[in-house]
Homo-oligomer: A and B are copies of this chain.
Amino acid sequence: MTGTPQPHGDSPSASPTERTVACCQLALDVDRPDENLARVRDALERATRLGAQIIVLPELANSGYVFGDVETLRDRAQPADGAFVTELTDFARANDVVVVAGFPEFAADGAIYNSAALLDPDIGATVYRKIHLWDNEKTWGFQAGTALPPIVHTRHGRIATVICYDLEFPELVRYCALRGAQLLAAPVNWPAFPRPDGERPGEIVRVQAGASVNRMFIAAADRTGVERGQDWVGGSVITDADGFPVTGIDLGAEVIFTAAIDLADADDKQISPHNDVFEDRRTDLYALAFEDR
């Protein structure tokens, strides 16, 4: 629900695994990095006041998206121990929250990744590098990540991070669920495409489906605004483990959604007296093979 504080932990009926998750849908602009940072700071403060314990920010939250060329991307990129991630880590520790946020990562070897950092008060920063690059990300100089996302056992639950176009690969969403993620935190920047009247954006549909077939929560934090002529969906959504949105969807608005979800529900893969979405997979006929890490 938009801007509505969610009670947590103080109700006699609250589950010990109930957490409040926030998705911060922000207007970002690659030409206004200082404003991006101000928006991120404001969103973190507001989400925390709303009771959020897990806060998801968009992809490339400090930089904006439409770099246009290699030089601009190199100018905006920061190391994983740079100012942005350090500030988020400090915020996570000071407020006992988990934060997930995208940023352009300047690696030690000079490569630049479209990364997301998950900040946990105990663990510090866990960085994931997007493995499926979208369109001009390939021409602007991003390198694709070379490792599957870790499933982070945070203070507030088991969380995996994927980024935007990654969500369109059911193999990856399945992998995260099979490895134990209760919540998939997905910083995204969804470019707006035409769609039939009355239809929900396909990006949201795919999030819903991915959640339901895996019985896993998904929190996708999108950005909004028009940036160098590029319009964005602004389609942030938090789904339950059945794939239904548990927050409103407010396409294009600048808004913070919060929802109280019981992460333990994602540990229950049973969907009928005789069906379990993991056990029912016919691994004798097909199987998802993945690199062990």
* Residue pair A172, B286 in contact (C-beta under 8 Å): yes
State the CA gap A289–B281 with chains docked (Å).
13
Which of A3-11, A21-29, A74-82, A239-247 is the contact stretch?
A239-247
B-facing residues in A101-155 (Cβ within 8 Å) = 131-136, 138-139, 144, 146-148
Q: Which of B196, B244, B286, B291 contacts A290 (CB 8 A)?
A: B286
B-facing residues in A241-274 (Cβ within 8 Å) = 242-245, 272-274
A285 contacts chain B at the CB level, 8 A cutoff = yes
Chain B CB within 10 A, most for which of A205, A206, A285: A285
* Residue pair A280, B132 in contact (C-beta under 8 Å): yes
Say which size band chain A's interface belongs to: 35 or more
State the CA gap A134–B276 with chains docked (Å).
10
Q: Known contacts A243-B202, A286-B148, A286-B288: does B138 contact A274 (CB below 8 Å)?
A: yes
* Interface pairs (15), CB distance under 8 Å: A132-B282, A135-B273, A147-B285, A169-B281, A170-B170, A170-B209, A195-B244, A196-B245, A199-B245, A200-B200, A202-B243, A205-B212, A205-B243, A206-B243, A286-B288
